[in-house]
Structure 1
Amino acid sequence: MRTHRTAGAVLAAALLTGTAMAPAAFAAPPAAASAVAQAAVPFTAATAARAADGGYALSWASPAGSVTVTAVTSPDATTGTALGTAAGTGSLTVAPGTLPEAGRWYFRLVPDSGSPLVVADRSLGLESARNFRDIGGYRTTDGHWVRPGLVYRSNKLSGLTDADQQRLVSQNLTLDVDLRNAMERHDDPDRLPAGVTYQVADVVSLAHGIRFHDSALMTLAEAIAAGLFSGSSNLGQSIGYPFMVNFVGADYAFHDLVTAVTTNTSGATVFHCSAGKDRTGWGTAVLLTLLGVPRETVEADFLASNEYTGNPKAVELDWLRAAFAEVDHIYGDFDTYVREGLRLDAATVETLRARMLTA
């Protein structure tokens, strides 16, 4: 027992450094009927990507005969700059200079039958927060889409420039959820626009004690073995991801994150850690899985940190998969993790889905 407590204390101390903690990824969402019970948007694929020259490349797939594209500056806008009409499965290029500078351009895809879909480049192009990006724009397994412009993930926000802050204001950001530990928050406090509510959801907080759901020593040994077997470039991260599921303190943080996103109806939410890839990566995986986004898409979003940070080794897929495996090991499935680990009830999950998914 003494050995177990000592190991737990050492691990908790490591977690406090922020180097061995990262958010995990969840399994399929509950099978209960969604609050969004109407017909799904008739698009099976859609993307918008901004080029370095300021132009945009749009593409989509749908059973429609044709799709009309309009550029808008808000995801809720219905009128804007008409860009053209193309086939139901097609593409459109927006040449540089076609659209004036704006906080962010969204593209409203209107099929000749069925509901429209709004897409956007995920990055806001913030100079001081390269990994700041939208978690919207993904299709779910049941044919809905995660709405853009509601929830963002990011790296630390301590260096936001005045221009970056103004861009966040233009996107109606009203809530910032900080997943970092006390030392990180002290050394690099967030620099936010006036009017943005700040909330802490410390993933490695010891406020709830040094407690684990399963043997800390066993989790440590298995994580090291798995990391060595997979050829992990960072054993600390290989260890940290399963502990994001095993450490009780992390449950409270991710519970608070999901609840904050669900209840912030006054505007957009951003959540972040330091690099925006580990704790934030697991938090994103939890949210997207709750919304019904398929695992392969969740994994692709996780790996995108390598592109946004400019570091091809920023994250490794085996780290995220280790967290999912820990969910299955401790709880048997993702639904049970959500219910018993994160203590999120069905009403909260349904409210989250109703808020964030298209009809």
Structure 2
Amino acid sequence: MTTTRFPYEESAVRIPRTVLALATAAVLGATAAGPLAAPATAAPVRAAAQAAVQTSASFTAARATANADGSYLISWASNTSQVTVTAATDAAATTGVTVGTGGGTGSVTVPAGTLPGAARWYFRLTAADGSALTVAERSLGLADAHNFRDAGGYRTTDGHWVRTGVVYRSGKLSALTAAEQQVLTDEGITLDVDLRNAAERSDDPDAIPAGVTYQVADVVSLAHGLKFHKDAAATLVKALAAGLFSGSSDLGQSIGYPFMVNFVGADYAFHDALTAVEHNPGATVFHCTAGKDRTGWTNAVLLTLLGVPRATVEADFLASNTYTGDPEAVELSWLDAAFDEVNAIYGSFDGYLHQGLKLTDADIAALKAKLLV
């Protein structure tokens, strides 16, 4: 039996014969809808969101990289005279094992075997002025979910940093071994948000440890009807033309990304995914099948909301080509098409957040308070 897939679903075989299903249905009779109205009154801002966000302005760059031989390279740039690096297995730890020091801009190599075995090591950089920043190797190294990685560790345009160890992005989690499930537990992950459709969820149900709450945020669900913010036929023609002009290797994806913005049902899924991150007291992972398209757009929206510059958002998106082992897993033109659709419908990214995803100022403030340091 052939399963009909929507434009922005990843599939093992990337062929365009079914990617027009959603758009075709729209052209044949779906209703158009204006941008979803934002709530008339924003909820009161939580106390945590009202608090001033601590900055790590001393650091202008920082990264931790795990090498194939088991060593780590921690590098940074700051405007102070000295930086001390300590290692800990808890992202929130303020103390740990000192593994090196360096100048205001420098690096430290931690040789293999220096640190005992652990699910993940976090490296706290403490500058001479007392400011500190924690970084970690982004990938969790899960063989059965190789695109499972930290969404944090990026600097915003105003000098803040997205916290590590709070939000993760991944492909499907159906094949996790008991040991890999334990890694999720060790990382404090308490919520799993599944962006996949019903068929995908049925065919490959998530294998997650006890204590992790499972939540569905189906990007292609028709629970809210087959409605679009603007004429679906126009979106289809424009996306097809743009894909042909850019030389896209997969016209289905060129078409699918704009529909993740134009399709009203997707708004509800992305709203639910982002507010789940906001409200979950522990760490959260959101995922689809390959962790690159629906997940890629979700993470692009989250990082942009937090103030991460577009170039960094693009680099994170394109990193799926490395983590999946497929150099053609994603193309920048696909992400650009989604952002272009945001501007075409709403005029601005802020309009998309408020009118399309129905996020309140309180939601946005709470996300920033939780995820920025």
**TM-score, normalised with respect to structure 1:** 0.91
After the TM superposition, which residues 132-151 of structure 1 pair with which residues of structure 2 at under 5 Å, given as runs?
A: 132-151=148-167
**Match status 1:165 vs 2:157:** no
Residue identity over aligned pairs, in percent, reads 67
Partner of residue 310, structure 2: 295
Task: Name the amino acid aligned to 1:251.
Answer: D
**Matched residue, 1:75:** 91
Cα deviations by residue, 1:137-186 (Å, 9 ceiling, x for unpaired): 00000100000000000000000011111111110110000000000000
Please state if 1:205 is matched with 2:197. no
Cα pair 1:214 1:246 within 8 Å, conserved: yes
2:307 counterpart of 1:315: no
Aligned residue in 1 for 2:359:
344
- CA distance in structure 2 between the partners assigned to 1:35 and 1:249 by the alignment: 34
Q: Provide the rounded CA distance (Å) in 2 between the counterparts of 1:296 and 1:178.
A: 27
Determine if contact 1:135/1:152 at 8 Å carries over to the other structure: yes
State the match for 1:236 in structure 2. 252
Give the conservation status (yes or no) of the 8 Å contact 2:64–2:75.
yes
Q: Say whether 1:271 aligns with 2:263.
A: no
State the secondary structure of the residue aligned to 2:80.
coil
**Per-residue displacement from partner, 1:196-250 (whole Å, max 9, x unpaired)?**
0000000000000000001100000000000000000000000000000000000
Partner of 1:97: 113
- Check whether the contact 1:262–1:351 (CA below 8 A) recurs between aligned residues: yes
Alignment of 1:42-81 (within 5 A): 42-81=58-97
Of 111, 119, 142, the residue aligned with 2:127 is 111
The more displaced of 159-168 and 273-282 is 159-168
Pair 1:16–1:66, CA change in 2 (3 A): closer
Q: Deviations over 1:104-152 (max 9, x none)?
A: 0000000110311000000000110000000110000010000000000
C-alpha deviation, 1:42, in angstroms: 1.0
Find the aligned partners of 1:131 and 1:203 in 2 and give their Cα distance.
19
Local SS of the residue matching 1:64: strand
Q: Distance in 1 between matches of 2:345 and 2:10?
A: 23
Distance 1:337 1:35, change over 3 A: farther
Structure 1 position 34, deviation (Å) = 8.1
CA displacement, residues 234-272 of structure 1 (integer Å, 9 cap, x when unaligned): 00000000000000000000000110000001x110000
Partner of 1:254: 270
* Counterpart amino acid of residue 302 in structure 1: F
Cα distance between partner residues in 1 of 2:244 and 2:159:
39
1:285 aligns with 2:300: yes
Give the whole-Å Cα distance in 1 for the aligned partners of 2:298 and 2:243: 21
| CA offsets 1:49-99 (integer angstroms, 9 cap, x no match) | 000111001110001100000011011112221112110100011111111
Amino acid at match of 1:111: A
Structure 1 segments unaligned to the other structure (5+ residues): 1-11, 22-32
Structure 2 Cα separation of the partners of residues 91 and 60 of structure 1 = 6
Shift of 1:36: 3.6
User: Structure 1 residues 136 and 34, CA, compared in 2 at 3 Å: closer, same or farther?
Assistant: farther
- Give the corresponding residue for 1:7: none
Distance 1:172 1:180 in 2: 23
Distance 1:76 1:288 in 2: 21
Range moving further from structure 2, 79-88 or 99-108: 79-88
- The CA distance in 2 between the partners of 1:47 and 1:332, in whole Å, is 34
